[in-house]
Amino acid sequence: MKIYVDADACPVKDIAVAVAKEVEIPLILVKSYAHFSIADEPEGVKTVYVDTGAEAADYKIMQMAQKDDIIITQDYGLASLGLAKGCQVVHHKGFAYTSENIDQLLDSRYMSAMARKSGQRTKGPKAFTQEERATFEKLLREVVLK
């Protein structure tokens, strides 16, 4: 089992790294060259850089991930692909993507995109809270211990 993080805009990388290190599961951060860093990686963490294209990180994660791996992403499309591959997929706000909720999430994303395309203004995401950080950490611990 490995943990893959769609890392460009992930606000819980630090939690994922800490949990992975505790349970000794390899963690792979996938991010674009636009977020390149020369900082040393913690033990057990690997960073894979990809081009800056819109779905480059998603494609790379799907290329590397295997059944039962864990994917951390806020991208519903990547979540859908990960579920189809047999991965466990979690959102940084602390909920698991499932076959029961993914269709509704994708429909909601589509409806928002159509509204924006027609000129309507849609609300962006709410600010990320400490409570959501704690909920994410609890969920990730549950997932890795299964």
Give pLDDT tens digits for 116-134. 778 877 676 778 889 999 9
Give pLDDT tens digits for 54-83. 789 999 999 999 999 999 998 888 999 999
The CB density around residue 132, as the number of other CB atoms within 10 Å, is 18
Minimum mean pLDDT range among 5-9, 14-18, 57-61 = 5-9
Query: Which CATH architecture group holds 3-99+129-145?
Result: 3-Layer(aba) Sandwich (3.40)
Here the tokens at position 37 are: 């860093």
Sketch the domain layout of the chain as residue ranges: 3-99+129-145
So what's the pLDDT on residue 110?
A: 67
Q: What is the pTM of this model?
A: 0.84
So what's the pLDDT on residue 38?
A: 73
The amino acid occupying position 57 is: A
Cα-Cα-Cα-Cα dihedral of 57, 28, 64, 133, to 10°? -70
Mean of pLDDT values over 38-64: 87
Q: What percent of the chain has pLDDT over 90?
A: 60
Here the tokens at position 71 are: 């994917």
Here the tokens at position 8 are: 């460009």
Question: What beta strand segments (E) does 2-135 contain?
Answer: 3-6, 27-32, 45-50, 70-72, 88-90, 96-97
